[in-house]
């Protein structure tokens, strides 16, 4: 996937993003990305520089959520490669909507626990013969809240 840096921020070639997920109707998908999140830029190709639509990080997510690779030309319901990509795309969407956004709303950020904290959380909960879901949630909440306050692991 081709990317370029503009003001130290990554921009992705929209067609490449669509192709990676099996969406052959990239123009349709790119049309759904807000104008603020896309622009054209000269991109080096085998045939020389060509103007291509690029998307910023926000546009990248908009593009992923707008894609419908199952509706692409020549795709059958039994195309394992496309079905695998659709499943990955759905898992990513679920993670963003079910975990990331609610965590940001509750705690003000989405920290990534350090490896040490992850191992500690797992070992504390897996050694108990009776895993208490509320206790696990409370420990996770404390770690996330503390990390948000410290501004660490973001």
Average pLDDT in the 71-90 region?
69
Distance CA 143, CA 106 (A): 13
- Predicted pLDDT at 109: 76
pLDDT at residue 55, as a whole number: 96
Judge whether 84 and 20 are in contact, CB under 8 Å: no
| Residue 148 DSSP class | H
* Tokens of residue 76, six digits: 């059958």
Backbone phi and psi for residue 12, each to the nearest 5 degrees, phi listed first: -110, 140
- Eight-state DSSP code of residue 108: S
Q: 45 or 65: whose pLDDT is higher?
A: 45
Give the pLDDT confidence of 94-148 residue by residue, as tens digits.
878 788 778 878 887 777 666 666 666 566 555 444 455 556 556 666 776 676 7
pLDDT at 130: 44
Query: With 70 as the cut, is the pLDDT of residue 75 above it?
Result: no
Backbone angles phi, psi at 95, to 5 degrees: -60, -45
Element (H, E) at 43: strand 38-45
Q: What is the pLDDT of residue 18?
A: 87
Structure token digits, residue 124: 């504390």
- Burial pattern 8-47, b for ≥16 Cβ within 10 A else e, equals eeebbbbbebbeebbbbebeebbeebeeebbeeeebeeee
The structure's pTM equals: 0.56
Q: What angle do CA 43, 44, 45 make, to 5 degrees?
A: 110
pLDDT over threshold 60, residue 91: yes
Residue 37 confidence (pLDDT): 95
**What is the Cα gyration radius of the chain?**
20
pLDDT for 79 = 72
pLDDT digits (tens, 9 = 90+) for 5-41: 999 888 999 999 988 877 878 899 999 999 999 999 9
Distance, CA of 146 to CA of 124 (rounded, Å)? 18
Confidence of residue 56 (pLDDT cuts 50, 70, 90): very high
């Amino acid at each position: 996937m081709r990317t370029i840096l503009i003001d130290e921020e990554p921009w992705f070639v929209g067609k490449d993003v669509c192709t990676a997920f099996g969406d052959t109707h990239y123009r349709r998908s790119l049309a759904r990305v807000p104008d603020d999140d896309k622009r054209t830029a000269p991109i080096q190709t085998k045939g020389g520089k060509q103007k291509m639509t690029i998307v910023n990080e926000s546009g990248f997510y908009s593009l992923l959520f707008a894609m419908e690779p199952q509706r692409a030309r020549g795709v059958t319901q039994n195309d394992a490669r496309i079905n695998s990509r659709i499943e990955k795309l759905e898992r990513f969407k679920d993670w963003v909507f079910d975990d990331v956004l609610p965590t940001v709303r509750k705690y003000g950020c989405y920290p990534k626990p350090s490896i040490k904290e992850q191992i500690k959380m797992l070992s504390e909960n897996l050694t108990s013969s009776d895993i208490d879901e509320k206790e696990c949630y409370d420990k996770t909440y404390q770690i996330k809240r503390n990390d948000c306050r410290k501004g660490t692991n973001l």
